[in-house]
């Protein structure tokens, strides 16, 4: 089967870096890549009483800028190297980014989205970039892989997967992680951090752990437990000590900055993003 990959862009350097990472990550499999740019007309907002129509000066000027930017971007992407496994498509559309992404996922049966992150301190929007934040929080049924602005591709060999074992896992949700691990012979390090307990799992947690290990059994993996440490600090120290190449987490609540794992992750790791972050969602249903 041919993998359908969405590459939203605002023509920034960090967006280009994410595109190049996607091309390298999936270099050995057949992919349809969709470069997507959502444009808006100067002086108008999409929630205005009136928006410009095709043929009107403001609309046509914005469309021209988008098409010209996309043409330049496509040339830059092709300079990265042409791969017979890959087919590149471009989409320029008058819409908000979120709605453009949502529509493209539905029309093209997109399986994963790549976004760039900005390595600057400050609010969550400035950390990841407002576009990446919007997609991670709004798109519930498609995984997102966020790539740090200056991260140079290296085949992932160690992937960290933090968990509290409170979630019943499904293979469908984990498939993007399993695929990456198998593609690059990566080891998945499952880490459970409990700063208050002695590492003993409840019956429910033990059952979920068994379910997770059954899913991961087709890959190389190991289980780790860290105690007497804050979740965020434990994740950071583990990544540093193991020289991990990627971190993945399952976002069941679809509130990227509200869950027990993602919030500390943003605070401790997101301020200076150093490795790609894979947000897994329940993509068994299409938007």
The reply to whether CATH 2.60.120.260 applies to domain 158-275 is no
pLDDT, residue 257, reads: 38
Q: What is the mean pLDDT of the chain?
A: 83
Determine contact, residues 262/251, Cβ cutoff 8 Å.
Answer: yes
pLDDT, residue 86, reads: 96
pLDDT, residue 149, reads: 84
pLDDT, residue 194, reads: 78
- pLDDT above 80: residue 34: yes
Task: Tell me the whole-structure pTM to 2 decimals.
Answer: 0.87
Whether 3-148 shares its CATH topology with 158-275 is answered: yes
- What is the distance, to the nearest Å, from the Cα of residue 166 to the centroid of all Cα atoms in its chain? 22
252 or 275, which is more confident: 275
Which CATH homologous superfamily contains domain 3-148? Answer: HUPs (3.40.50.620)
Alpha-carbon distances, residue 194 vs 10, 41, 62, 133, 231 (angstroms): 40, 50, 52, 28, 7
In angstroms, the CA 87 to CA 83 distance is: 8
In angstroms, the CA 48 to CA 190 distance is: 47
pLDDT, residue 234, reads: 81
SS3 category, 135: helix
Domain boundaries, the chain: 3-148, 158-275
DSSP 190-228: EEEEESSS-SPPPHHHHHHHHHHHHHHTTSEEEEEEEES
SS3 category, 80: coil
- pLDDT above 80: residue 80: yes
**Residue 221 CB neighbours (<10 A):** 19
pLDDT in tens, 117-169: 864 444 444 444 567 777 877 888 899 999 988 899 999 999 999 888 888 88
């Amino acid at each position: 089967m041919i993998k359908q990959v969405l590459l939203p862009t605002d023509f920034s350097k960090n967006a280009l870096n994410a595109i190049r990472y996607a091309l390298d990550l999936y270099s050995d499999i057949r992919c349809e890549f969709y470069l997507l740019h959502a444009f808006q007309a100067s002086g108008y907002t999409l929630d205005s009483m009136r928006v410009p129509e095709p043929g009107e000066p403001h609309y046509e000027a914005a469309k021209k800028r988008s098409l010209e930017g996309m043409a330049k971007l496509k040339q830059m992407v092709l300079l990265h190297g042409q791969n017979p496994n890959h087919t590149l498509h471009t989409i320029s559309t008058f819409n908000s980014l979120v709605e453009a992404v949502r529509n493209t996922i539905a029309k093209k049966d997109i399986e994963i989205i790549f976004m760039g992150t900005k390595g600057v301190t400050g609010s969550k929007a400035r950390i990841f970039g407002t576009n990446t934040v919007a997609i991670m929080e709004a798109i519930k049924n498609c995984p997102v892989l966020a790539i740090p602005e200056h991260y140079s591709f290296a085949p992932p060999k160690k992937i960290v997967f933090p968990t509290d074992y409170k979630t019943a896992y499904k293979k469908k949700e984990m498939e993007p992680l399993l695929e990456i691990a198998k593609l690059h012979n990566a080891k998945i390090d499952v880490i459970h951090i409990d700063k208050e307990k002695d590492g003993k799992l409840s019956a429910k947690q033990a059952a979920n752990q068994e379910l997770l290990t059954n899913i991961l059994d087709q890959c190389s993996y190991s289980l780790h437990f860290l105690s007497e440490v804050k979740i965020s600090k434990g994740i950071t120290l583990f990544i540093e000590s193991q020289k991990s190449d990627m971190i993945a987490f399952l976002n069941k609540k679809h509130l990227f900055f509200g869950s027990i794992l993602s919030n500390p992750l943003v605070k401790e790791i997101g301020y200076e993003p150093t490795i790609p972050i894979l947000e897994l969602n329940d993509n068994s249903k299409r938007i």
